[in-house]
Amino acid sequence: MFDEKDLILEARHVTRRFPSAGGRELVACNDVNLKMYKGKTLGLVGESGCGKSTFMRFLVWLDRPSEGEIWYRGKDITKIKGKELWQMRQHVQMVFQDPSTSFNPKMKIRDIVCEPLLNFGRIKPSEKNAKARELLELVELPGDFADRYPHNMSGGQRQRVAIARALALEPEIIVMDEATSALDVSVQETIIELITKLQREKQITIGFICHNLGLIQSFGHQIAVMYLGNIVEVMPGEGMADICCHPYSKALLDAVFDTKMDFSKKIEPIKGEPPSPLDVPAGCPFADRCPHCMEVCRETRPILRELEPGHEVACHLFEGRGTA
């Protein structure tokens, strides 16, 4: 589906363990293997606590995996430190869920969007005003917003400022952690349109974390579904609703409004509660909530198998199909 020469980042067998009381461990990410391609969006979807934000934090060096490698520009970025790490941060930037908590409320917008450029010596202080206007206009905000403070702007406007700040260093990868979840639905749409427009113009690779499988299918090129730290399905974004097959992926899709406003579609909540991440079942982690659970599901954990190019699923229902 994707040209391997466009591969820009690859996670190999990434696992993150956190120690817990009583000598137990919480496995936030379990043997995660994912690829990101130049100019494409990887959507990482799942319920709260599934490990998707933990994984994306590795890409911006806010955390390090317990095991595994993440290769970018020919380097395993889990191993770099010091000045090399500082320089590498220019190439991968992040947009947080709530810009109100990621901005200094005492800084003007011009200072917020230009701070990365000043930190890396990309501009002189005398160039700050012009550069701030340029970045704000890039995200379709008036240049004179540079004189405002964050509290003088709406949620959607603040998120555009956050995107402008992420774009300032012209990174190859931008990680967006629930970047639209705190916004009204109408504002979400305009932010998604802005993101896709900027991606086309600048060939940016995007890692987009969200709960809503219906939202990410509208613009994601590749979608990975995560459950209790495990990747259970990886599939193309185009036509995703027709090809997704893991019971959890289908349950996520059934739990949201139809994006085509088909009100005849019944919304089905996912039955049951996920088990404690400190007590994940020995077999399939979704076994206790799956309507198709078999005996083998409770005994043996399924591995990702390729059903067709670009589409992998970890489910015993599909063993024997495609290639292992």
Q: Could you tell me if 162 and 96 are in contact, meaning their C-beta atoms sit under 8 angstroms apart?
A: yes
Q: At what angle do helices 128-138 and 109-119 cross, to 10 degrees?
A: 110
Give the chain's mean pLDDT.
Answer: 89
pLDDT at 300 over 60: yes
| Pairing status of strand 75-76 against strand 230-236 | unpaired
- The pLDDT, as a whole number, for residue 98 is 83
Q: Could you tell me if 286 and 269 are in contact, meaning their C-beta atoms sit under 8 angstroms apart?
A: no
Sheet holding 222-227, edge to edge: 92-95, 173-177, 205-210, 41-45, 222-227, 230-236, 311-313, 305-308
- The pLDDT, as a whole number, for residue 324 is 45
pLDDT at 322 over 70: no
State whether residue 240 is helix, strand or coil. Answer: helix
Structural domains in the chain plus CATH codes: 4-103+172-318 (3.40.50.300)
- The pLDDT, as a whole number, for residue 264 is 59
pLDDT band of residue 255 (cuts 50, 70, 90) is: confident
Closest CA to 229 of 32, 95, 94, 25: 32
The residues, any chain, with a CB within 8 Å of residue 139's CB and separated by 6 or more, are 160, 161, 163, 164, 167, 194, 198
**Interior/surface letters 71-100, b for 16+ CB within 10 angstroms, e for the rest:** bbeeeebbeeeeeeeeeebbbbbbbbbbbb
- The pLDDT, as a whole number, for residue 266 is 62
- The pLDDT, as a whole number, for residue 178 is 82
pLDDT tens digit string along 48-90?
889 999 999 999 999 999 999 999 988 999 999 999 999 999 9
pLDDT tens digit string along 131-176?
999 999 999 999 999 999 999 998 889 999 999 999 999 999 999 9
pLDDT tens digit string along 224-249?
999 999 999 999 998 888 899 999 99
Q: CA angle, corner 108, sides to 102 and 113, nearest 5? A: 60
Distance CA 204, CA 94 (A): 12
Mean pLDDT computed over 185-210? 90
Please tell me which residue, 212 or 51, carries the higher pLDDT value: 51
| Pairing status of strand 230-236 against strand 222-227 | antiparallel
pLDDT at 268 over 70: no
Mean pLDDT computed over 268-280? 79
Please tell me which residue, 255 or 246, carries the higher pLDDT value: 246
Q: Highest-confidence range of 63-72, 247-256, 314-323, by mean pLDDT?
A: 63-72
Mean pLDDT computed over 306-319? 93
Enter the tokens of residue 74. 């020919």
Distance CA 229, CA 100 (A): 28
pTM of the prediction?
0.91
Where is 93: in which H helix or E strand?
A: strand 92-95
- The pLDDT, as a whole number, for residue 86 is 94
pLDDT tens digit string along 22-47?
888 999 999 999 999 999 999 999 98
CB atoms within 10 A of CB 55: 27
